[in-house]
Structure 1
Amino acid sequence: MLVSEIDIITPQTVNDCLLILSSHETEHRLIAGGTDAVVRMKEGKWRPSTWINIKRLKELRYIKEKNGTIHIGPLTTHTDIIHSPLLQKKANVLVEAAREVGAVQMQNMGTIGGNIGTASPAGDTIPALYVLDATIELQSLNTKRLIPINQFFIGPGRTIMKQNEMITNIIIQPQAENEVGIFQKLGPRKAQSISIVNVAIMLSMAKDRKCLEGKIAFGSVAPTIVRAKKCEALLPLSPLTDDIIENIAKVAWKEVMPITDGRATAEYRRDMASALLKRGLYRLMKRWENK
């Protein structure tokens, strides 16, 4: 497809965009940073008759705290997230995930809304949003609805978002003083790779190595993100000693559901999911002890 064959509409306000979405009968897709769109077009996968360019909607680019929650606009770039003092202090697991999103150029261009909307099981920010109990705000011309992130994705590249809707806000729960989080990723090449496996971990800690509650979300090991519920159930049972961490990591091997593809075999992904979780828990214990 030549550039001249692509129909692009550029709304100037969110309301203009919602009006276009409500009236546009032909196949269309929203585009912001375009880091995913360009790749998919080259692969011949995304060829809508119309692209709706929302990059100019500056009202959708923000990071702010409101009523005890953190609100992030969908046009917020990964670089914005990385350099946000608020997120560094209260959602460092998301900051760590944003640092792993491709090279610096992709971090500058790519947006968190695009990462969510693409709905890739390997999307780096998505496991972090799971452990931060994110809520996705979807808006159409006449309605607005709030969707817990674990209900938003229904398969690879598929979400519950309707054709007349767009993401207008991402709401996350800030980390408490006794919470520590981490994001880890395994990719074939540093800085510019799609995840073979990734994992986000959030632990609520008491004294010593006693975990009160934990959340673990794996990416790139199933059609959508996997919350490792069996692993999570083991976290508060006893202090996280070396033996307990080893046992929890073994449970992760059985809990993920990967496939074999051109990047890795299913067995390798299982092994690496277990290894990443084990390493992440050790690192979190060290962070907690040094806090």
Structure 2
Amino acid sequence: MLVSEIEVVTPATLEECLSIIANEEKVLKLIAGGTDAVVRMKEGKWRPSTWVNIKGLRELRYIIEKDGAIHIGPLTTHTDIISSSLLQKKANVLVEASREVGAIQMQNVGTIGGNIGTASPAGDTLPALYVLNTLLELSTNKSKRIVPIEEFFTGPGRTILKKNEMITNIIVQPQGENEIGIFQKLGPRKAQSISIVNVAISLLMAKDRQVLSGKIAFGSVAPTIIRAKKCESILTLHPLTDEMIQNIAKVAWKEVMPITDVRATAEYRRDMASSLLERGLYRLMRRWESK
């Protein structure tokens, strides 16, 4: 099928969009920023009979705080996230991740919903969303359901999203006054490439360097984003001295499960996962001590 032979429909409202994707007879695919679409079509992976262009659905582009949580519309761009004073204050780890999504041009058009829906293990915003305990609202024209982001992905490019469903809300838990977060990425070229390894860290701190609780999520080291539960369990045992940080980083080397591909070997990814976590923890401690 030639690209020119693919039908494009543009719903005017969310209600109309949900009605369109309820059609079981057509092979439909949503498109918003479209930053992955041309690449995937050239690879022969994305060839729906109809593209559903949702870029103009303004009702799905927002960042608001409500009922103790931050709600982000799936059509919110990475530039929107970077510019949000609310997210800078209460979800800075997501802001840092969005800054690493490609070049500025890609940040201007790429959406957070698209980053989630593509389900790449290398998606830069995904580890940040994991450590923010994110919930996803999935809607059809008849129902809605809320699922934790960790249950959404089933493998590279695969999710639990049903054919007639779409992401309609992204709900993140704000970081508290004593919570600090950071996103670290390793790629072939700074801010222009797919991650070889990335990591997001969020820590709830007590006095000095004592961690009350912490979350660590890695990307590009397994079929989906993974929480480093063994590393997390060590975080609270003792204050984060240099020795403790180095020991946690060694545990990360064993906990990740990378593969070898054209971008990096599995061993290199293990080494870099350990190094990124160590560097991130050191930087977080310097931030905490400077507050």
Q: What TM bracket, shorter-length normalisation?
A: over 0.9
**Which residue does 1:139 correspond to in 2?**
139
**Which residue does 1:19 correspond to in 2?**
19
Equivalent-residue separation in structure 2 for 1:245 and 1:32 (angstroms): 41
**Which SS does the other structure have where 2:22 is aligned?**
helix
**Which residue does 1:280 correspond to in 2?**
280
After superposition, the C-alpha distances for 1:124-148 in whole angstroms (9 at most, x for unaligned) are: 0000000000000000010000000
Q: What is the Cα deviation at residue 2 of structure 1?
A: 3.7
Equivalent-residue separation in structure 1 for 2:282 and 2:149 (angstroms): 27
Gaps of 5+ in 2: none
Equivalent-residue separation in structure 2 for 1:189 and 1:210 (angstroms): 35
Q: What is the Cα deviation at residue 208 of structure 1?
A: 0.3
Q: What is the Cα deviation at residue 4 of structure 1?
A: 2.0
**Which residue does 2:216 correspond to in 1?**
216
Equivalent-residue separation in structure 1 for 2:4 and 2:182 (angstroms): 44
Map 1:60-209 → 2, pairs under 5 A? 60-209=60-209
**Which SS does the other structure have where 1:93 is aligned?**
helix
**Which SS does the other structure have where 2:128 is aligned?**
helix
**Which SS does the other structure have where 1:117 is aligned?**
helix
Amino acid in the other structure paired with 1:28: L
Q: What is the Cα deviation at residue 249 of structure 1?
A: 0.1
Amino acid in the other structure paired with 1:210: Q
**Which residue does 2:10 correspond to in 1?**
10
**Which residue does 2:253 correspond to in 1?**
253
**Which residue does 2:268 correspond to in 1?**
268
After superposition, the C-alpha distances for 1:53-91 in whole angstroms (9 at most, x for unaligned) are: 101111000000001100000000000000000000000
Equivalent-residue separation in structure 1 for 2:172 and 2:90 (angstroms): 10
Map 1:26-45 → 2, pairs under 5 A? 26-45=26-45
Amino acid in the other structure paired with 2:47: R
Amino acid in the other structure paired with 2:219: G
Aligned residues: CA RMSD: 0.7
Q: What is the Cα deviation at residue 28 of structure 1?
A: 1.3
Equivalent-residue separation in structure 1 for 2:189 and 2:42 (angstroms): 21
**Which SS does the other structure have where 2:33 is aligned?**
coil
Q: What is the Cα deviation at residue 24 of structure 1?
A: 4.3
**Which SS does the other structure have where 2:56 is aligned?**
coil
Equivalent-residue separation in structure 2 for 1:23 and 1:268 (angstroms): 46
State the TM-score, normalizing by the size of structure 2. Answer: 0.99
After superposition, the C-alpha distances for 1:201-237 in whole angstroms (9 at most, x for unaligned) are: 0000000000000000000000001100000000000
Q: What is the Cα deviation at residue 245 of structure 1?
A: 0.4
Structure 1 segments, 4+ long, off by >4 Å, are none
Amino acid in the other structure paired with 1:81: I
Equivalent-residue separation in structure 2 for 1:92 and 1:197 (angstroms): 20
After superposition, the C-alpha distances for 1:84-107 in whole angstroms (9 at most, x for unaligned) are: 000000000000000000000000
After superposition, the C-alpha distances for 1:5-25 in whole angstroms (9 at most, x for unaligned) are: 111111010000000111241
Q: What is the Cα deviation at residue 38 of structure 1?
A: 1.5
Q: What is the Cα deviation at residue 254 of structure 1?
A: 0.4
State the TM-score, normalizing by the size of structure 1. Answer: 0.99
User: How many positions carry a matched residue from both structures?
Assistant: 291
Amino acid in the other structure paired with 1:276: L
After superposition, the C-alpha distances for 1:98-121 in whole angstroms (9 at most, x for unaligned) are: 000000000001000000000000
Equivalent-residue separation in structure 2 for 1:259 and 1:143 (angstroms): 38
Equivalent-residue separation in structure 2 for 1:158 and 1:4 (angstroms): 26
Q: What is the Cα deviation at residue 36 of structure 1?
A: 1.0
Equivalent-residue separation in structure 2 for 1:24 and 1:266 (angstroms): 41
Equivalent-residue separation in structure 1 for 2:97 and 2:191 (angstroms): 12
Equivalent-residue separation in structure 2 for 1:148 and 1:24 (angstroms): 26
**Which SS does the other structure have where 2:19 is aligned?**
helix
Equivalent-residue separation in structure 1 for 2:167 and 2:173 (angstroms): 18
**Which residue does 2:59 correspond to in 1?**
59
Equivalent-residue separation in structure 1 for 2:258 and 2:60 (angstroms): 35
Q: What is the Cα deviation at residue 3 of structure 1?
A: 3.7
Equivalent-residue separation in structure 2 for 1:2 and 1:188 (angstroms): 32
Amino acid in the other structure paired with 1:176: G
Q: 1:285 to 1:251 in 2, by over 3 A?
A: same
